[in-house]
Structure 1
């Protein structure tokens, strides 16, 4: 019989979600969940999978399905009323989560079920993770410590939400109205059209530039007016800080200090020396030393090359453009000039070949060839915006196995960046069969007038990246939500499928599927493809050290935190930049105030995961390089050994099962154009 908690309509009508109804609905769901917990813990000594674990799983999934649409709307259609309702629910959810994690009777029940013979491997892994997480939630603390842990969780929830709100508000509040066309000299037609459209949306004449990436990035890359580039750079890199045009209005500085202090205190309360140690408990990396050695090794191979690349850029700016000194707001501009000079190619030249109307069907065809699935557009109730599309995935037998929403374009009141998130997990149990549903969210340049959206090649890679995350969530074959899809995949392995999928944006055979001129449908010309491939590793070492700067800064912040000295955000960032940065930013730069990945997302002491997983993804793709990028057997093996198991098996065991050995950094460094001797990951 279907569990009554999961019997409601599986897809939310987003347009029918009213802010004033959110808090009562979540409170009612939490009451139901607490009733389930009370019932199953009445006799934990007699706990079984059916009478203990399944009711808890059903309650957790029902709560997720109620909260996920609210959290999602808060990110993509933010409003004051919804924000108020969202924030009203956060402490209630935090309190419930703490109650569950610190419930010794629940832990006892999990331990009892773990002794049950006949459990399958996924069930055992789920119980193993669950028992570990009870300890990481403070179940072993005394009453006073538990109270402090609870208070910290409540406070942390509010701080991280406020950090993200400040960043969103600061981004949305700033724009530049331009009425003189000569100020925009150098901008491509696509950027000018977007700027005109943004002006019309504000009932202004002329053009409007914003801090959203589709507007900001073309200015930094193409605007000949150096003062305009400086103005936008200053506004962007001082968002939510004590500097810049909005100085002090949405300052994240105090929040960052308190967030880091609370993380450190929580780690020590649980018996760890620092938050970096705590963060590694569920990850692949085995120690903080291993992480630092990994990052420093990549830096050692990359820094000298990156500095040479910067010197090449300086020499070019001087010789060809009479530019004596490069400032940070000049880097993207002269880099693009050098790219065009050296390879005769630009993102704008490629854009007409990547209309989203060609890219999406091509992406779906690539997924069909690799993983034997069909993707087709479907109807969903009450989409939250006219730009949103809804799709379903069919397996080889024609059975619907997953669904996803795609929200591709940047707009006001939408959080920046790109991400995949979970609406519903795969959950197959007695009388209930629920397929996984995902959100795929990007911030691409929107369609202009009657023309379809034309993506840059970088945006195409972003789409493939997020789709890779979605595939791991949607193609799982694990029936238990707690370890299905991306759930309980170690954070330093979760980027493997996403970065892996980006490789198909660079191969001739796959580009035939995703690229076609918007007006003629003509394929990407061979000579343009060759120029694109030749430019692939342009300034790759500078890009490498930029990511290493983020990763080292994040990890050292959490590894070296000293309660007596405070966060030392500026000093640690300065030290990291001294080690790996090729150009030191100006004193007013407040990068950390907008580093939402670690202060409001899930990457705290984990940003290194991008590079760690990039090693895995590059090495995994090298098997396709050996056998053919559409080799059926290799695609099936990747699906079965990486995508389908989700978090129900150890990540390293899964990689070895696919690749036949542990990963090495050779493929990553080769793909980056940095040739060195093979190094073990």
Structure 2
């Protein structure tokens, strides 16, 4: 039997052929082969050359990490009990191997010898940076630990990986196992027709009558925004707010996982000589220390909170005067916000959705990428993991420079949210070029009946956001994978291209290309666009303080030097809310239990990066604003070419502060972010 996970890194993966039983044999074989080669290389006399050491190991390890990326991706998008079992069987071996690599003193000594050799001065700045970062990362991986500390570090690494995976599983299972059925349509007044159609089809698929609602966004969000039935909104809100907690289905309670993860992270950072986990994580970031991050967040909160308070006051007044609601419960805010927006700006997201069918959006999207960065997306026939997935070659003047898979719809067995993952990074050696390949994953509402998939305005922003991550990988011109964007761009700058791309979704010349009514084929009326634009900063104050709440909570729990109980974690969150929030959830709200970014996604002590990078991205976009075309469009190909050359092409080959300055001509300034958010004057 041919194992598709063992195919050459230069060939396409046959996703449709991958079965759960392929995972453990393939990865076990690749792990053994890599370990044997590393032991052989490590035993050779120093100093080795770049080609005989770094490049040799990069080439040899590509099949292993590519196979693992594939398996990791499938575990997130087509999760089955069989695949999960195989994933959990191989995960400890992958973790053990990664830890063994980080603790390998012989490899560390080879890097030190290469750094001290005469060859180092002759290497490109990118390769010098790779060596320097490798030495830093070895220290952060515990290579200088000895004896019991070294053993304990390896144990911690394995435990962290396993508990993070369990956190993800609990969150996924809690969502997949939650449903609420409604028999009478009378209880569903206000909910959009396509949401009701999907809910009726979901109930029918289970052999039931009526309507099935779930906690997946295409089902949950329209209920919260449009349902007139407050009792239904409360049921949905409580379900979502208690995912994977003792307040919900206790089979999936993440309380102990949060406690264990925080304790292990603190123990790990102490072993490596850091005061706390936050200090350790910031070793690899643009930000200097936790105090700087916290000061940045609190300064932003001070600027945003007056606007947020105005937002809430306006909501309460509207609810009282127009909806007869004397007070607002947490499950009322999304509904009243949508009612106020429709009253204030005379349009609804549902109205806009009718002009955003997926095929038109993607056609326009590809045209915009072509205009900005001079690359084409050409559909290709490729083996995929689900019938809804599409694949494209990314071409630069006819030459294929990468590949991208789009997986856009929500479904059972797929993690919620949106993200970009990498199957493989660009690597050029000898006569060989390995092209970058990425996955762009979203959770949009799928087509129903004769109706195509329709994107909401938020979905459109999400698509452009994730495309920025994808383009970062696809347009990288870095030859060495250790300097690829996802390998070595500082975490608090990785959101720069993604948040930058969001800005274009507010430009009329862009919107014109993205919109067509799915039934009438009419373009989006300019008057409707003007209403959208007028509402652009609607509740931007509330949204900003919400993000600051997440980020400040993250930094504070990871600054603790003592293990925190779940009660203490929730108390810190409560204190943060008292400081920066304008909407305080009920005491039974268990937001952290489903906060996968922090506890299963690599954003621990890094969630602030969204706001940090937003300063960078807004300032970068302001250069396009300063160089508009004659028709007022920001789609300036010359500035797009500069952005591609200065930021996307360099990947992680230079520090983020340097590539930003190369593009903008100066250090970043926060004015553009405040201006874009309508928060320059309180």
TM-score, scaled to structure 1: 0.97
Find the residue that maps to 2:442 and give its secondary structure. Answer: strand
Q: Deviation string for 1:3-32 (max 9, x for gaps)?
A: xx9845622112211212211110100011
- Asked whether 1:572 is paired with 2:572, we answer yes
Q: Which of residues 657, 669, 674 is equivalent to 1:652?
A: 657
CA distance in 1, matches of 2:564, 2:505: 49
Quote the residue 1:22 is aligned against. 23
- Asked whether 1:627 is paired with 2:627, we answer yes
Quote the residue 1:434 is aligned against. 434
Q: 5 Å matches for 1:272-291?
A: 272-291=274-293
Q: By how many angstroms is 1:452 displaced?
A: 1.4
Quote the residue 2:511 is aligned against. 511
Q: By how many angstroms is 1:346 displaced?
A: 1.1
Quote the residue 1:617 is aligned against. 617
Q: Deviation string for 1:632-654 (max 9, x for gaps)?
A: 22101100111011111010000
CA distance in 2, matches of 1:250, 1:133: 34
Q: 5 Å matches for 1:3-42?
A: 7=8, 10-42=11-43
Q: Which of residues 649, 664, 671 is equivalent to 2:669?
A: 664
Q: Which moved more, 1:426-435 or 1:216-225?
A: 426-435
Does the 8 Å CA contact 1:241/1:253 hold for their aligned counterparts?
Answer: yes
Quote the residue 2:465 is aligned against. 465
Quote the residue 1:175 is aligned against. 179
Does the 8 Å CA contact 1:261/1:567 hold for their aligned counterparts?
Answer: no
TM-score, scaled to structure 2: 0.96
Q: 5 Å matches for 1:26-425?
A: 26-114=27-115, 115=117, 116=119, 117-244=121-248, 246=249, 248-381=250-383, 383-396=384-397, 398-425=398-425
Q: By how many angstroms is 1:176 displaced?
A: 1.1
> Gapped runs of 5+ residues in structure 1?
none
Does the 8 Å CA contact 2:187/2:229 hold for their aligned counterparts?
Answer: yes
Does the 8 Å CA contact 1:371/1:635 hold for their aligned counterparts?
Answer: yes
Q: By how many angstroms is 1:568 displaced?
A: 1.9
Q: By how many angstroms is 1:462 displaced?
A: 0.4
Q: By how many angstroms is 1:379 displaced?
A: 1.1
Q: By how many angstroms is 1:451 displaced?
A: 2.1
CA distance in 2, matches of 1:10, 1:564: 48
CA distance in 1, matches of 2:536, 2:134: 43
- Asked whether 1:641 is paired with 2:646, we answer yes
Find the residue that maps to 2:413 and give its secondary structure. Answer: coil
Q: By how many angstroms is 1:676 displaced?
A: 4.6
Does the 8 Å CA contact 2:259/2:564 hold for their aligned counterparts?
Answer: no
Q: By how many angstroms is 1:199 displaced?
A: 1.8
Q: By how many angstroms is 1:44 displaced?
A: 4.3
Does the 8 Å CA contact 1:48/1:112 hold for their aligned counterparts?
Answer: no
Q: By how many angstroms is 1:567 displaced?
A: 7.7
Find the residue that maps to 1:295 and give its secondary structure. Answer: helix
Q: By how many angstroms is 1:566 displaced?
A: 7.7
CA distance in 1, matches of 2:563, 2:387: 49
Find the residue that maps to 1:604 and give its secondary structure. Answer: coil
Does the 8 Å CA contact 1:44/1:105 hold for their aligned counterparts?
Answer: no
Find the residue that maps to 2:493 and give its secondary structure. Answer: coil
Q: Which moved more, 1:532-541 or 1:63-72?
A: 63-72
CA distance in 1, matches of 2:567, 2:59: 41
Quote the residue 2:678 is aligned against. 673
Q: By how many angstroms is 1:609 displaced?
A: 0.4
Q: Which moved more, 1:116-125 or 1:196-205?
A: 196-205
CA distance in 2, matches of 1:283, 1:581: 26
CA distance in 2, matches of 1:269, 1:8: 37
How has the CA–CA distance of structure 1 residues 236 and 257 changed in structure 2, closer, same or farther, with 3 Å as cutoff?
A: same
Quote the residue 1:525 is aligned against. 525
CA distance in 1, matches of 2:311, 2:382: 49
> Gapped runs of 5+ residues in structure 2?
1-5, 629-633
Q: Which moved more, 1:172-181 or 1:60-69?
A: 60-69
CA distance in 2, matches of 1:78, 1:190: 26
4+ residue runs of structure 1 moved beyond 4 angstroms? 564-567
Calculate the aligned-residue CA RMSD, in Å: 1.3
Aligned pairs, number: 669
Q: By how many angstroms is 1:598 displaced?
A: 0.2
Find the residue that maps to 2:284 and give its secondary structure. Answer: coil
Q: Which moved more, 1:86-95 or 1:480-489?
A: 480-489
Quote the residue 1:539 is aligned against. 539
